Amino acid sequence: MVVLSQPIPLDNHISVIPTYKPVPVLTSQIIPVVDLTHPEAKTRIVKACEDFGFFKVVNHGVRPELMTRLEQEAMGFFALPQSHKNRAGPPEPYGYGNKRIGPNGDVGWIEYILLNANPQLSSPKTSAVFHQTPQIFRESVEEYMEELKKVSCKVLEMVAEGLGIEARDTLSKMVRDEKSDSCLRLNHYPTTEEEEEEEKKVKLGFGEHTDPQIISVLRSNNTSGLQICVKDGSWVAVPPDHSSFFINVGDALQVMTNGRFKSVKHRVLADTRKSRVSMIYFGGPPLSEKIAPLPCLVPKQEDWLYNEFTWSQYKSSAYKSKLGDYRLGRFEKQ
């Protein structure tokens, strides 16, 4: 296992990352836990997607060894000298990023790698990541993406069944498609070198946002930091659990369910005394896929809350936005 002896210096040009007083947030017993092997799983998933847009899954079938292997390989990359990591950045959007998130000025106490699951959409920066890492890194990434695609599709099929949609692959086929625009994000929220004052021990790791895709599947090490925003607007801290996955409803699924499911607003407030590593698989549709409320759920177009758009249109619009923007606004029907 790679053990970091030194905290990693991040990009020195960016000094102002907001710090937080560790204010009490609700630590949740309320986050739904779904056992994927339970006969009632599909009903529970639908309820969780309606109530929170978020839930934890257990009995997911992914080998713990693969999860820890990828985490260790990611730590190995993040432990490389800064100059080596920089050869795989800045991200465009794939590749290595440090403190800067997206192209529009968002920053956070984070370094990360973003990799596209579709090799046809990968970039020179993706190749540069693999160039800086041993063969086992790439193998672990590829194996992990395959497994996480299966988890995403399994959950989406349960969603379809739970919603009473006749063709159970209505949603999953978009993620299973060989042209699916899915991606994997490996995040590292480092510790700090300096002795921080008490109220500065928590930094904004990843600002509040919703995920644009259909579904996101997150796994982290046992360090806290993830928070979700619940219906009354309060923030709830999600207790970490390195053996489970956390599922987020994304914007595209909100649209396809005509707002019945809400894409969950979430953020990471990083505790700078213990590093956090998370790995998120974003299940997205092919770029040419038309996204609109599903006619089997909402037959009359006049009841649609959103205009139809392609995933490619939504993605380009997302990359013109700031992290915290409400991206679906411009696709809502007047």
Active-site annotation, residues: 276
Tokens 């053996």 — which residue? 243
Least distance between ligand GA4 and beta carbon 321 (Å): 5
C-alpha closest to that of 280 among 209, 220, 208: 220
Q: Is 253 in the site for ligand GA4 (CB under 6 A)?
A: no
Is there binding between residue 111 and ligand GA4 (CB under 6 A)?
A: no
Pick from 299, 209, 289, 298: nearest CA to 252: 289
Residue 249 interacts with ligand GA4 (CB under 6 A): yes or no: no
* Nearest to ligand GA4 of 8, 183 (CB atom): 183
Residue at shortest CB range from ligand GA4: 102
- Smallest gap, in angstroms, from Cβ of residue 30 to ligand GA4? 24
SS3 label, residue 268: strand
**Residue 68 burial class via C-beta count within 10 angstroms: exposed 0-12, middle 13-18, buried 19 and up:** middle
- Contacting residue, 20, 193, 316, 319, with ligand GA4 by CB under 6 A: 319
Residue 321 binding ligand GA4, by CB under 6 A: yes
Per CB under 6 A, contacts with ligand GA4 among 275-294 are: 282
Tell me if the bond preceding 90 is cis, omega within 30° of 0.
yes
Q: Which tokens hold the place of 8?
A: 């990693």
The distance between the two most distant Cα atoms of the chain, rounded to a whole number of Å, is 60
CB half-sphere exposure, 73, CA atoms < 13 A: 24
Q: Does 318 bind ligand GA4 (CB under 6 A)?
A: yes
Residues 182-241 contacting ligand GA4, CB under 6 A:
183, 185, 209, 211-212
Contacts to ligand GA4 by CB under 6 A = 93, 101-102, 104, 106, 114, 183, 185, 209, 211-212, 282, 318-319, 321-323
